[in-house]
Chain A
């Protein structure tokens, strides 16, 4: 896959292919007042969620935001009046195109969206909240990755045709009408939203249970036109058709301009989208925005854990550590360095069920574990509190 930075450099040579949006990309479009938006933080890899200190500090605001969130996601008429300019999934997370912002393009997911999506649409699932938050994250991210894939495919054609395909297309949605007589009948490309939700369903179905999938389908069913049609675009054929129609929508004028046969039904448009390419997905920056205070929650209510850069070993831990085999001690020393960069996926690093205080287990060699506790409020270091084999640590 060609790095997006290289694409951007090439697109810069095509007149009108790149622009500079004035909208702050990390600002959710619905927030109150001119307050400064929180700085987004880049997320790499699969994050782990911890809601051990879930704390609603302003119940009235929390209720108000839930109602507002529901109206935005489901796109009811009152949403516009409350200043919410995006509907469906885009009310929770959004993709900023590299065509519009070379510096801050990528997927943006506020923590508040995870809390709201969990509360509004996932809370009936019989799985723990951390797991539900992870599900919310995956659902939003996969949907937005489809928009990145379409953006990437557009760029590819722009380079071939030397044409500003995406920005011409988006200009139509921004009210720049070529003729006075034309009236927009959709506020966003509905078929693209259907394809993005179908992509989300197809990806989640690979690893989630039937019960989880029914819940996600219920979430999609309540979304506005386009989004909810994702439910009918999950088969291979219908997904391919939704994708093809999305790309035809972007390319139509340029197909005519360049005498290209884009209507050919035998063309496999899906191949143009980097959807199953992990290196491509990792090319798209993902940012999280810690805005929990804006929905009436304490700032540490929901933590996204990407790495553990600071660990303090307690006296008990050190005592147990000295009793361990040399290979286990060396493995701990190595793991401590690894988790400074990236955490292993569950179950290699997972929260112990019903543990008070919240405790996480990190798997070491030969059935050994280290138990870690997250930083206390106002501190930054995790604490290593115990180390031992599976049985000693109470896992057996």
Chain B
């Protein structure tokens, strides 16, 4: 028996954090959270960037829910509902503008604008050999912040625009109907 609601579309994905510091330390470009990322520079240098990243991550977490046991998260597909709900937060939580770093003051900004004395804090030498023969370069103060650090909602199921929730609920869906054996 249905509940009267149309089946919503959902996005299934994961939050990914890309950080040059993490790659420099581990060889891995990405990790799954800010807390799990390895750091290289002193926090007093990078604090303005990480504060913005923490807001960004908090909003990504806020607008999605865990989907075990796959290590994934789900959220309602870009649609009417979340925009409506989240507008209640006076724009504090622009759920589906989250991928856009502009909101957090990172897009189009250079690292040096946010973090004074950046270049002096960089390791020497400022490049080193990474995995697969790739040379890693420490970003200079003039580099874009989003070249060095970025959070991303990465779809894990396609089409990424939305999966019908009934595909996830299967026979537990309130709209589920047994298929007749004949006809």
Q: Do A and B come from one complex?
A: yes
Q: Could you tell me which residues of chain B, from 142 to 180, have a CB within 8 Å of some CB in chain A?
A: 156-157, 165, 167-172, 174
CB pair A253–B74 under 8 Å, yes or no, is yes
The verdict on A263 contacting B61 (CB below 8 Å), with A172-B68, A185-B70 known, is yes
Tell whether A312 is near chain B: CB-to-CB under 8 Å: no
- Which among B71, B81, B169, B171 has the greatest number of chain A C-beta atoms within 10 A? B169
Cα–Cα, bound, A81→B170 (Å): 32
Q: Which of B1-9, B43-51, B101-109, B123-131 lies at the interface with chain A?
A: B1-9
The verdict on A259 contacting B81 (CB below 8 Å), with A179-B157, A189-B69 known, is yes
CB pair B8–A256 under 8 Å, yes or no, is yes
Tell whether B76 is near chain A: CB-to-CB under 8 Å: yes
CB pair A253–B169 under 8 Å, yes or no, is yes
Instruction: Give, as a whole number of angstroms, the nearest-CB distance from A107 to chain B.
Output: 23
Across the interface, which residues of A come within 8 angstroms of B157, CB to CB?
179, 181-182
Tell whether B85 is near chain A: CB-to-CB under 8 Å: yes
Across the interface, which residues of B come within 8 angstroms of A263, CB to CB?
61-65
Instruction: Give, as a whole number of angstroms, the nearest-CB distance from A20 to chain B.
Output: 16
Instruction: Give, as a whole number of angstroms, the nearest-CB distance from A206 to chain B.
Output: 29
Q: Could you tell me which residues of chain A, from 181 to 227, have a CB within 8 Å of some CB in chain B?
A: 181-189, 191
Cα–Cα, bound, A164→B69 (Å): 18
CB pair A256–B65 under 8 Å, yes or no, is yes
Across the interface, which residues of B come within 8 angstroms of A189, CB to CB?
68-69
Tell whether A311 is near chain B: CB-to-CB under 8 Å: no
Cα–Cα, bound, A251→B74 (Å): 11
CB pair A164–B172 under 8 Å, yes or no, is yes
Tell whether B37 is near chain A: CB-to-CB under 8 Å: no
CB pair B167–A178 under 8 Å, yes or no, is yes
CB pair B165–A186 under 8 Å, yes or no, is no
Cα–Cα, bound, A366→B71 (Å): 62
CB pair B10–A186 under 8 Å, yes or no, is no
Count A-side interface residues using an 8 Å CB cutoff.
40
Across the interface, which residues of B come within 8 angstroms of A167, CB to CB?
172
Across the interface, which residues of A come within 8 angstroms of B70, CB to CB?
172, 182-185
Across the interface, which residues of B come within 8 angstroms of A249, CB to CB?
65-68
Q: Could you tell me which residues of chain A, from 113 to 171, have a CB within 8 Å of some CB in chain B?
A: 162-164, 167-169, 171
Shortest Cβ distance from B88 into A: residue: A261
CB pair B71–A185 under 8 Å, yes or no, is yes
Shortest Cβ distance from A185 into B: residue: B71
CB pair B170–A178 under 8 Å, yes or no, is yes
Across the interface, which residues of B come within 8 angstroms of A184, CB to CB?
69-70
The verdict on A176 contacting B167 (CB below 8 Å), with A184-B69, A186-B71 known, is no
CB pair A187–B67 under 8 Å, yes or no, is no
Cα–Cα, bound, A263→B75 (Å): 10
CB pair A261–B85 under 8 Å, yes or no, is yes
The verdict on A248 contacting B65 (CB below 8 Å), with A256-B8, A257-B165, A259-B81 known, is yes
Across the interface, which residues of B come within 8 angstroms of A262, CB to CB?
65
The verdict on A257 contacting B8 (CB below 8 Å), with A182-B157, A263-B63 known, is yes
Shortest Cβ distance from B81 into A: residue: A259
The verdict on A252 contacting B62 (CB below 8 Å), with A178-B167, A179-B157, A257-B5 known, is no
Q: Could you tell me which residues of chain B, from 64 to 123, have a CB within 8 Å of some CB in chain A?
A: 64-72, 74-76, 81, 85
Shortest Cβ distance from B73 into A: residue: A252
Shortest Cβ distance from A259 into B: residue: B81
Across the interface, which residues of A come within 8 angstroms of B85, CB to CB?
259, 261
Cα–Cα, bound, A16→B175 (Å): 13
Shortest Cβ distance from B85 into A: residue: A261
Cα–Cα, bound, A103→B69 (Å): 28
CB pair B172–A255 under 8 Å, yes or no, is no
Shortest Cβ distance from A171 into B: residue: B172
Cα–Cα, bound, A172→B75 (Å): 18
Tell whether A100 is near chain B: CB-to-CB under 8 Å: no
- Which among A15, A176, A179, A256 has the greatest number of chain B C-beta atoms within 10 A? A256
Across the interface, which residues of B come within 8 angstroms of A357, CB to CB?
none
Shortest Cβ distance from B163 into A: residue: A179
* Chain A residues engaging chain B, CB cutoff 8 angstroms: 15-16, 162-164, 167-169, 171-173, 176, 178-179, 181-189, 191, 245, 248-249, 251-253, 255-259, 261-265
* Chain B residues engaging chain A, CB cutoff 8 angstroms: 1, 3, 5, 8, 10, 61-72, 74-76, 81, 85, 156-157, 165, 167-172, 174
List 15 A-B residue pairs with CB atoms under 8 Å apart, sorted by A's residue number: A15-B1, A16-B172, A162-B3, A163-B172, A181-B156, A182-B157, A185-B71, A252-B74, A253-B67, A253-B169, A256-B8, A256-B10, A257-B174, A261-B85, A263-B64
